[in-house]
Amino acid sequence: MTAFPLHTKVTVALLFAVAVCAQTQERVDTVDEPSSTGFGLQSSIFRYVQNTSVDLSRNLSDARNYVMTPGDTFTLTMSYGMSLSREEQQTSVSYQLQLSEDHTLEIPVIGEISVDGFDLLSLRSFVSSQLKIVIPLQHVSLVLSKPAQFNVFVYGNVNRPGFLTANPMLRVIDAIALSGGFKSDGSYRNIILERSDRTVSVDISRFYSVADFESNPVLQPGDIIFVPAAKRVVTIQGEIKYPGRYELVEGDNLKSVVNLAGGFLPAAESESIDLVRQNEANRPLTIRVASSDFATFEMKNGDIVRVRSSADNLLRVAIEGAVWGRRVSAAEAASVPTSPVRVDLPYYDSMTLLDVLEEVGGPTPFAEAERSFVIRAGSDTRLPVDIGALWESRNADGGVRLEPGDTIVVPMQVLDVFVTGMVVSPGRVSYRSGYTVNDYILLAGGFDPRRASAQALFLVNDRGRRRATKRDAVVPRGSTIYVGRKMLFFVDDTVQNILLGAAWVTSTIAVVTSVVQFIDLFFPGVVP
């Protein structure tokens, strides 16, 4: 057997002593139902190690991947000569051979051979061929009749920690089974296997899910197995093949959880997943994660994943206005939407306004967030809410509890500049940062050459009041520019109106005179 340093032996002995003392006081965890303890699909692992009976005397004659270990016992059978008559008996002889510490076998007639580089089948073939060269044998059989037995030490979150007897046919999971199985909080994805030459981390789940035999190695003399407590455990519920609790390891994410749980059921809403997480105030916070983010979304201990049914999408809420339209990372360089955005989202129980804001990235810098409101479905009721304050505080208690069919409106600032008055093409012009009054007038086709006054320039507020401005003044977003008329055009209009009025009066007098003359001609004496 492999020799260990003195301090290692002392450590193991102390651990064993503590484990034995604890046996009289410690309750043994049991696994009766998948929902009581264990982890989803991996609850079958917990049940296996809890209830299995490990056979230390398995027949290993056909074990192709068996690792020959000092102490292995082989049976060598040799048959001599031929049967010439019915009365003659074929002569056979058997030998018991044991593999020595230096991995050599003492073979009769041949002598000592090393088994390094051989598996059981190739060793049998080699020994048979070498014997037949020396002795005329009719048959040679080399069988591993009894595997070597040795001690390994198992401790940590198992029900019966301590030393146990093992053999090279057994694997790490068998050692845990012989130790009474996992405790309910034991890790099955980060088991530490200590050997004389190295220490490795063992993920038993890979052995069962993808037949990764390296994740459940065979035992060797002197192995020390430590089962730590699971550090990161999440729960997945809903339209998933194997709902339950799952342990996560370094590098796992939301996509890993879905895969560990066997994938979505046909009725699942796979475009997004709801996740409930405790916030800093130890209160539940619901996060909606889009499918495009599954592979990058990091899970935390205690997270609850809820896979909704696609039937849930029949109930929806909407949000429109000055929102991003999707989740936006603080480190992401994203352009701010300059037109209102509308997003329809599946409704779920206990959905709040804050949940929706989280899903659409919150209000943009162009939002008039304090003027936001919620329109209740099927009515004209409007619930005013300061979305800016809610988004800033992230206070879940301050969020409005939504109902199916609700619409959230986040008003957007006026982003255009309106140019009116004496310009060629009055109307809205897209806002450009740093543009002046003259720039916007040019965008509106320029001054009306006959009527516009280049000095009569005004900015008009939302109450209709004018404030004089200059051509080189920078214009704020949402402004209204008014270009007044020149004075000469006012004079021309006045003169024209006077002439028109005089002509009207002259014409009226002429008509009246004609009527009087007509009456005097045909009806004398009527007109005095």
Q: What is the per-residue pLDDT across 276-326, written as a single tens digit (0 to 9) for each? A: 888 776 777 778 888 889 999 989 998 999 998 877 656 788 899 999 888
Bridge partner residues of 151 (DSSP): 165
Same-domain pairing of 52 and 155: yes
pLDDT band for 110, please (50, 70, 90 cuts): confident
Which two three-digit tokens encode residue 53? 């009976």
Is the pLDDT confidence value at 355 over 70? yes
- The answer to whether residues 402 and 374 touch, using CB atoms and an 8 Å cutoff, is yes
Q: What is the mean pLDDT of residues 188-216?
A: 88
Q: Is residue 65 part of a domain?
A: no
Is the pLDDT confidence value at 332 over 80? no
Last residue of a domain, one of 312, 341, 372: 312
- CA–CA separation, 173 vs 179, rounded Å? 10
Which two three-digit tokens encode residue 213? 């035999």
- Return the residue matching tokens 């939301």: 254
The total domain count for the chain is 6
Is the pLDDT confidence value at 26 over 50? no
Same-domain pairing of 211 and 319: no
Q: Is residue 1 part of a domain?
A: no
Is the pLDDT confidence value at 18 over 50? no
Phi, psi torsion values for 507, nearest 5 degrees: -65, -40
Q: Write down the pTM of the prediction.
A: 0.50
Same-domain pairing of 154 and 51: yes
Query: For 232-271, what is each residue's pLDDT tens digit?
Result: 999 999 999 888 888 888 889 999 899 888 899 998 988 8
Which two three-digit tokens encode residue 210? 């993808």
Q: Give the domain CATH number at 362.
A: 3.10.560.10
Higher-confidence residue of 349 and 238: namely 238
Same-domain pairing of 174 and 141: no
pLDDT band for 57, please (50, 70, 90 cuts): low
16-20, 94-98, 205-209, 279-283: which has the highest mean pLDDT? 94-98
- CA–CA separation, 191 vs 9, rounded Å? 21
Which candidate, 58, 56, 45, 57, places its Cα nearest to that of 227? 45
Determine the pLDDT at residue 19: 44
| Sign of the C-alpha dihedral computed for residues 30, 32, 38 and 44 taken in this order | positive
pLDDT band for 114, please (50, 70, 90 cuts): very high
Is the pLDDT confidence value at 104 over 90? yes
- Number of Cβ within a 10 Å radius of residue 329: 10
Query: For 462-508, what is each residue's pLDDT tens digit?
Result: 777 889 999 999 998 888 999 998 875 544 455 455 555 555 555 55
**Looking only at Cα atoms, what is the longest distance across the chain?**
180
Same-domain pairing of 307 and 243: yes
**What number of residues does the chain have?**
528
Q: Where are the alpha helices (DSSP H) in 345-421?
A: 353-360, 387-393
Residue 128 identity (one-letter amino acid)? S
Query: Distances in Å between the alpha carbon of 254 and those of 39, 152, 186, 246, 290?
Result: 16, 37, 22, 11, 11
Which candidate, 224, 171, 164, places its Cα nearest to that of 196? 224
Listed in order, strand segments (DSSP E) in 341-386 are: 341-346, 373-375, 382-384
Residue 275: which H helix or E strand, with range? strand 272-278
Same-domain pairing of 319 and 290: no
Q: Is residue 86 part of a domain?
A: no
CA 340, distance to chain mean position in Å, is: 28
Q: Is residue 68 part of a domain?
A: no
Give helix then strand counts, H and E, for the chain.
Answer: 10, 25
Q: Is residue 472 part of a domain?
A: yes
Query: pLDDT averaged over the chain?
Result: 79
Same-domain pairing of 267 and 308: yes
Same-domain pairing of 190 and 223: yes
Q: What is the mean pLDDT of residues 335-342?
A: 82
- CA–CA separation, 364 vs 521, rounded Å? 85
Q: Is residue 64 part of a domain?
A: no
Same-domain pairing of 389 and 442: no
> What residues make up the domain containing 274?
233-312
Same-domain pairing of 341 and 422: no
